[in-house]
Structure 1
Amino acid sequence: MKKIAVIDLGTNTFHLVIAEVRLPGSFEVVYKTNQPVKLGENITLNNEIIPTAFERGLSCLEEFHNVIKQHRVDRIRAVATSAVRSAKNGNDFVQTVKKITGITIEIIDGIEEASLIYEGVKASGSIHSPSLIMDIGGGSTEFILCDQKEIFWKQSYNIGAARLLQQFFHSDPLSKEDNHKIKIHLENQLQSLIQVISQYQPQVMIGSAGAFESFYQMLNPHTHLSQIISTDIAISAYAQLAEKLLHSTHAERLQIPGLIPLRTDMIVMAVIQTSYVLELAKVEQLKLCSYDLKMGILAQISKEI
């Protein structure tokens, strides 16, 4: 039996998952945690990780390293995504982490990120027909057109919720003018997605973890997400929630059960993206899958051991 640790260094949140591999291709999660590091705080100003965020990230990884040692892990894979790959001092962060903790961080590009998200969603058993997977991160958003056997098309766009928030969130509630500006920005950015949706016409959209977990939790505040791997989100219920969030203030969103504080404002950006794509794709079904990039890495490594 081998133990694997996966660290996902997201723009907003750092995740640690430890799993045991008993048979090739199968794994069981024995520990998981996350911290709202906000590595991408104000990253759009000078395209760099600011000093306070740098320190938060380093402190978090020191804690993760101690947990990994306690679990006597056989193999570690740490991957960094949008914030680190786009920051001028991203490599400085990677080198500092290596020097202080011994953890080697691999900076992956958006295309590999999309591939790993697909592997995670596929491992959950959520894909039953041609589907569009959407994963809204802090720095980037990934889209994968696929079925349960293969990827037809994949792409990563720098339209993550934190990035949009820093660029466009100038009023509370969000003004019609800023909402319109975001939609124009999405239309300009997502031309290739618009084309492939027209070509493949998926009937199902699968939201991978993150914001989609928040949507589901707000609609089902008494359900524990830890019990959910894959489930439907009624599009009509989502639409009502989206309207509520778009017209709410920060203070009002803080009071909504199921919405974690980290996403209090970013959820508005996630709603605009999700609603835009739902309208674009005109899918018949919306699903939440709690498996994402880190589970994709676990699935990948478990086949190799």
Structure 2
Amino acid sequence: MIKIQKYGAIDIGSNAVRLLIMDVIEKDDGTSVKFKKAALIRVPIRLGEDTFVTGEISEKKIIRLTDAMNAFQLLMSIHGVVKYKACATSAMRDADNGDYVIDRILKKTGIKIDIIDGKIEAKIIATTDLGELLDNSKSYLYVDVGGGSTEMTVYKNGTISRSKSFKMGTVRMLNQKDSLKDEWEEMKEWVKKHTAGIKNISLIGSGGNINKIYKMSGRTDGSPLSYIYMKANYRYLKTMSYDERISELNLNQDRADVIIPATKIYLSAMKWSDAKRIYVPKIGLADGIVKSLYAGIIE
């Protein structure tokens, strides 16, 4: 016999808001557990568009976010979710009215949102299936690019060597281009410093944009993308207009602009670390939230 329970994760990012519902399947003898995606809903609210320009989240986006949380609450009820957690990242963290927004949503929807920093975000993501990909005899630079921040982690011998969060995300780059030079230089120096002398390092990329790039490449699951491919793809994307990326590449409106800065970050990280390939496992913050909940790492 098996036992199946549904867990939920709400990821409130700078570009999109996601609800992931997963079946947690346990054997009654306690020998194994499997996680199977039951539903994934994505809403492109783009909170960072407000935070990174005006410093706070507008009334219009607060209403949209509240409506999304109400919808997520209903969907979780319909699915019979027994446990869930809602986490907000960079845009909510940087917003001057972030605490007000969270309090208002709690009163209107009953959903409690926790604002997490980059270190916690990286720790949660580390509870995903990332370990199954790592070869303990090799080294990796893990790069997670979001709308408001980029988390980077260096893995050596299967363990975390260094980890840092940078205020360098796709929506932030679109709206604060001229004010991010110092942050970009800091990220560059950090990667170079902590990957210096590491031979045959590979990148591991996560985030909606690298997942889309990987899907467009037509590669079979598990096969890495080369630096040459990423560079050629970046040049190709830049030759196209925003409208062409939507009409010819079938990208969503909220993906067609941010895919350019996202590709720049991944490509730059490969160049700085001298990585020749990037692996793209299907992992993210929402997956990590579910698995962390199940493992009791977070509540």
Q: TM-score, normalised by structure 1?
A: 0.86
* Equivalent in 244, 264, 289 of residue 252 of structure 1: 244
Kindly indicate whether residue 61 of structure 2 is the aligned counterpart of residue 53 of structure 1. Answer: yes
CA contact (8 A) 2:188 2:272 kept: no
Query: Corresponding residue for 1:164?
Result: 173
Query: Corresponding residue for 2:23?
Result: 20
Kindly indicate whether residue 231 of structure 2 is the aligned counterpart of residue 233 of structure 1. Answer: no
Question: Greater CA deviation, 7-16 or 264-273?
Answer: 264-273
Question: Within 5 Å, which residues of 2 pair with 1:102-121?
Answer: 102-121=110-129
User: Gaps spanning 5+ residues in structure 2: where?
Assistant: 27-31
Measured in 1, the distance between the counterparts of 2:197 and 2:96 equals 37
CA drift at 1:152: 1.5
RMSD, aligned CA: 2.4
Query: Corresponding residue for 1:173?
Result: none
Kindly indicate whether residue 281 of structure 2 is the aligned counterpart of residue 273 of structure 1. Answer: no
Change (3 A) 1:25 1:108: farther
Q: How many percent of aligned residue pairs carry the same amino acid?
A: 26
Measured in 1, the distance between the counterparts of 2:180 and 2:24 equals 44
Measured in 2, the distance between the counterparts of 1:97 and 1:301 equals 22
Other structure's SS at 2:248 match: coil
CA drift at 1:190: 3.9
Query: Corresponding residue for 1:44?
Result: 52
Kindly indicate whether residue 60 of structure 2 is the aligned counterpart of residue 72 of structure 1. Answer: no
Measured in 1, the distance between the counterparts of 2:141 and 2:183 equals 21
CA drift at 1:264: 1.1
- Kindly report structure 1 stretches of 4+ aligned residues shifted beyond 4 Å: 181-185, 199-202
Change (3 A) 1:12 1:4: same
* Equivalent in 103, 107, 123 of residue 99 of structure 1: 107
Measured in 1, the distance between the counterparts of 2:16 and 2:217 equals 23
CA drift at 1:36: 0.9
CA drift at 1:192: 2.5
Amino acid of the structure 2 residue aligned with 1:55:
I
CA drift at 1:5: 0.7
Other structure's SS at 2:133 match: coil
Query: Corresponding residue for 2:29?
Result: none
Measured in 1, the distance between the counterparts of 2:16 and 2:105 equals 16
**Residues 26-61 of structure 1, C-alpha deviations (whole Å, 9 max, x = no match):** 322222211111112232222111222212111111
Measured in 2, the distance between the counterparts of 1:148 and 1:120 equals 18
CA drift at 1:285: 1.9
The number of aligned residues is: 287
CA contact (8 A) 2:86 2:114 kept: yes
